[in-house]
Structure 1
Amino acid sequence: MDKKQLVDCHERIKPYIHNTPVLTSRLLNEMAGAQLYFKCENFQRMGAFKMRGAANAIIQLTDEQKQNGVVTHSSGNFAQALSLSAQSLGVKAYIVMPSSAPRVKKEAVKGYGGILIECEPTLEAREHESDKIVKEHGATFIHPSNDDQVILGQGTACKELLENQPNLDYVFTPVGGGGLIAGTALAAHYFGENCKTIGGEPFEVDDAYRSLQSGEIETNTTTNTIADGLKTQLGDRNFPIIQKHVEEIVRVTEEEIVTAMQLIWERLKIVCEPSSAVALAAAFKSKEKLSDKNAGIIISGGNVDLSSLPF
């Protein structure tokens, strides 16, 4: 994927997304020993960066594909992003969600006009239901993170951040399915001046860290992390980009995630979800590297379950 594709993608989706604010905190700068710039995708439409990729993926479909609708399987943010993007573009969205997904997220999908199909909470069941909808309705399947158009869309958050702060040395992002970090790494490569991308990942789901070590896509046997958005694994579209353009992946503990989340709430006065806090936790762990440097932190989303806060 090249620079022109990222520029074209950004122009396409501008009518459907917010150019989110960039915040700073003197105290957090002192703690990190660096100048930190927080790109607040928690203020994005539907509350997360995923609106960008979803909108771009739908816009790029043919008229016939749009007529037949789109389908995805997701337990959270991408379900909402595809529903809202589809509604904004007048396209039907079939959303397969595990029965175990939070009720608030199911309600949000319905509120955005998505057609909700519940299934057993296994990947096999999710894929089976999605395939069924593709066959029955001719809908186009859109993967939440392993899709070129989705990756390009997610990269526009970093592009906007670099337009706001062109002198960044590093950009930190959480790593789940790999769409955000792949898009961010492309944007940092094409629009930054020697700007490097670093991923943050919980020790409990460190498949991306291990994948970079082994050179092939690794999986997780357990997913015991508070960062519920990061339990998915990399795919064959985003992994090669990550291998080529990501400097490193820093692993953080559950305690470090909670501390970072608390600091974001207290110091920036904004709501972020645990997955977002992983990027700040990774920056704190990279203090030696960051000394007197400028670093961007992508706050990926703010869709947090207020009834189960970790503090």
Structure 2
Amino acid sequence: MPETKYAADISSIREAQAHIEPFMHKTRVLTSESLNALSGRRLFLNVNVYKRGNLCAYLYSGAFKFRGACNAVFSLDAAALSLAAKLQGIPAYVVIPKNAPKCKVENVIRYGGQIIWSEATMPSRESTAAKVLQETGALLLHPHNDRRIIRGQGTISLELLEQQVPQLDAIIVPISGWFSYM
């Protein structure tokens, strides 16, 4: 797809959806009377904790992350990237600092990623990643600034629209570096 002014538009998001649809599980939209009362609005929640491989947001590959990683492979999260690569039959080299939580490392391994250790500094991670790219010919996927990742994440909006949520006025999705660590 040709580059556009914005990282994602409706046609690029639909294209991403076509790429990842065979791998995604639809999540039903829920509502909460408590949140409705607090907000004074009728809120609808697409709860990604029920998605593939996501029992607990901080322990497993999140569906929102998986959407982006799956579209890019065809990383927001090392485990999501590992799973997306595994489903496509390609290797995932994941640069992880030596002080990373054990559960994150175990998830990368469980989903088929190859751990490449680095020191816990940005220069170390960048130089380690550059070395991996040079040695393997792999492509670097920026976890938050890659159009393919953003377009894959955008597919959550299509899922909400497809479920015909009544009187949908806005879709609010937290997208930032900190979100990937939730």
What TM-score bracket applies, with the shorter chain setting the length?
Answer: 0.7 to 0.9
Q: Distance in 2 between matches of 1:134 and 1:16?
A: 27
The answer to whether the 8 A contact 1:46-1:80 is kept is no
Equivalent residue letter for 2:160: L
Equivalent residue letter for 1:167: Q
> Which residue of 1 is the match for residue 15 of structure 2?
8
SS in 1 for 2:172: strand
CA positional deviation for 1:166: 5.7
Q: Distance in 2 between matches of 1:166 and 1:92?
A: 42
1:32 aligns with 2:39: yes
The answer to whether the 8 A contact 1:46-1:84 is kept is no
Q: Distance in 2 between matches of 1:122 and 1:22?
A: 40
> Which residue of 2 is the match for residue 172 of structure 1?
172
Name the structure where strand makes up a greater proportion of residues. 1
> Which residue of 2 is the match for residue 258 of structure 1?
none
Q: Distance in 1 between matches of 2:98 and 2:172?
A: 33
CA positional deviation for 1:36: 0.7
Q: TM-score, length-normalised on structure 2?
A: 0.84
> Which residue of 1 is the match for residue 135 of structure 2?
136
Equivalent residue letter for 1:8: E
What residue ranges of structure 1 are gaps of 5+ in the alignment?
A: 60-71, 178-228, 233-272, 276-311
> Which residue of 1 is the match for residue 100 of structure 2?
101
1:91-114 deviation per Cα after TM superposition (whole angstroms, max 9, x unaligned): 100001112221001001000110
Cα RMSD of the aligned pairs, angstroms, is 1.8
> Which residue of 1 is the match for residue 65 of structure 2?
50
Q: TM-score, length-normalised on structure 1?
A: 0.50
CA positional deviation for 1:175: 3.6
Q: How does 1:146-225 map to 2 (within 5 A)?
A: 146-164=145-163, 165=165, 167-177=167-177
> Which residue of 2 is the match for residue 145 of structure 1?
144
Q: Distance in 1 between matches of 2:29 and 2:83?
A: 24
CA positional deviation for 1:25: 1.2
CA positional deviation for 1:45: 2.4
> Which residue of 2 is the match for residue 66 of structure 1?
none
Q: How does 1:222-237 map to 2 (within 5 A)?
A: 229-230=178-179
Quote the sequence identity (%).
40
Rg larger in structure: 1
Aligned residues: 166
SS in 2 for 1:142: coil
> Which residue of 2 is the match for residue 300 of structure 1?
none
Equivalent residue letter for 1:111: R
CA positional deviation for 1:170: 2.3
CA positional deviation for 1:20: 1.8
